[in-house]
Amino acid sequence: MKKPCEKPMKMLKLEALSRRLSPNHPKQKKITNDYRKIRTGFNGESSIGKELKELSKKYQVFHDLRLSRDESSFFQMDFLIVSTNCCIIIEVKNFAGLLYFDRTYPQLIRTKDGQEQAYLDPLIQVDVQKSRLINWLNFHKFPLLPIETLIANANSNTIIKTTPGHASIFKQITGKETLISKIQTLDKKYPSAQLTQRQRNKLSNTFLQKNTPHNPDILKWYQISETDLLKSVHCPECSILQMQRHWGKWTCAHCSYSSKDAHIQTLRDYALLIRPKITNKQARLFLQIESIDIMQRILSTMELPYTGQYKNREYNLDGLFHE
C-alpha cells in the first residue's frame, strides 16, 4: 500500500482522552459512544485493507486520503485505488443487520434488533467524492482519469436489499469476498493506459504530499478544561494511573506491573491532548515526578529533538508517533 491503514488522529485522541478523564466525568459517556463509532468504522476499513493487500503491484492503494483544492473545503476517501488506466474510490461500511438502499427517497436504512436507523446514502457520498476528485485533478493539472466508485461492506453477515427495479445499484456494492474481482472488472473497462508510470508516480507523490489528516483540538471539541485531565503514568497492564518511578523503572501501585518505558504512552497522551512540545516542568507535572534531574534523564534518554537551552528547553514529541 502507498498509504496503509492507520488509526486516525481523532481515534487516538479519544483513546487518550477517555483514559485521562474520571469515569464519572460528565463527558465520558459521549466520548465513549463517539469512540465506539470511530472504532467500528476503522475496524471495517482495516478488514477491507487486508483484502486490498492482495492486489497486484499494478494498483496503488491509499487509505484515508483527505484532500482539498483550496486548503479550506476538504473531502475524504476511505480508499483510493490508482492504476495507469483509472481510479476507483471505495467507501467502506461496517454495519450489521439488514441494509436497505431506499431509491425512492435516497437514503440507507439499517434495521438491527427491530430498530430502524437512517443514514446518508453512501452512493451519494461517493458521487460527491468523485466530483471533488475530478476538480482536484484539474486544479493540479493531472490528466483526467476515468473514476469508478464502489461501496464495500466489511460485515459478511449483512443482508442488503434495495427498492424493486433498482437492482443495478448492486454493480457498485460489494462484500469482502468479491472486492478484488470487482476492482479488476472495473479496471478492465479501460484497457488503454491514461497515465505513464512516471505520471502515476508523480500523482501518487502529490496525493501523499497534499494529504491533510483531520487533527481536531479534542479538548476544545468536547469543551473540556485541561485541568480535568488526570495526571500520572498510565499502566500498560491494568490501565490505572498509579505508576511510580523507582530505580530506573515504573511500578504500578495497583497491580505491581513494572516497565522501563511506560512514560512513553503518557507523553503521547500529553501530545495528543495538550500540545506536541513539552518542557521539563510540564513533563514533571504530567508524569507526577518531583525530581528535575530524573525527568531530565528520561527526556535525554528518549533522544527527542528540542529547541532552547536549560529551563527554557522544549522537547518535540511528534517522533513518538513514528516509531
pLDDT band at 39 (very low <50, low <70, confident <90, very high): very high
Closest Cα to residue 253, out of 299, 302, 288? 288
* pLDDT of 311 strictly over 80: no
Q: Give Cα 18 distance to the centre of its chain.
A: 17
Task: Enumerate the CATH 1.10.10 domain ranges in the chain, comma separated.
Answer: 231-321
Q: What integer best gives the mean pLDDT of the chain?
A: 94
Q: Give Cα 234 distance to the centre of its chain.
A: 23
d(CA 107, CA 47): 24
Closest Cα to residue 36, out of 24, 47, 28, 25? 28
pLDDT band at 322 (very low <50, low <70, confident <90, very high): low
Structure confidence by residue, pLDDT tens digits, 273-287: 999 999 999 999 999
* pLDDT of 37 strictly over 90: yes
For the domain bounded by 231-321, which CATH number is listed? 1.10.10
Full-model pTM: 0.92
Structure confidence by residue, pLDDT tens digits, 208-225: 999 999 999 999 999 999
Are 41 and 94 in contact by the 8 Å Cβ rule? The answer is yes
* pLDDT of 74 strictly over 60: yes
* Buried/exposed code over 268-293 (b: 16+ C-beta within 10 A; e: otherwise): bbbbbbbeebbbbebbbebbebeeee
d(CA 306, CA 288): 21
* pLDDT of 144 strictly over 90: no
* pLDDT of 38 strictly over 80: yes
Structure confidence by residue, pLDDT tens digits, 189-248: 999 999 999 999 999 999 999 999 999 999 999 999 999 999 999 999 998 998 999 888
Are 144 and 138 in contact by the 8 Å Cβ rule? The answer is yes
Q: Report percent pLDDT > 70 for the chain.
A: 99
* pLDDT of 323 strictly over 70: no
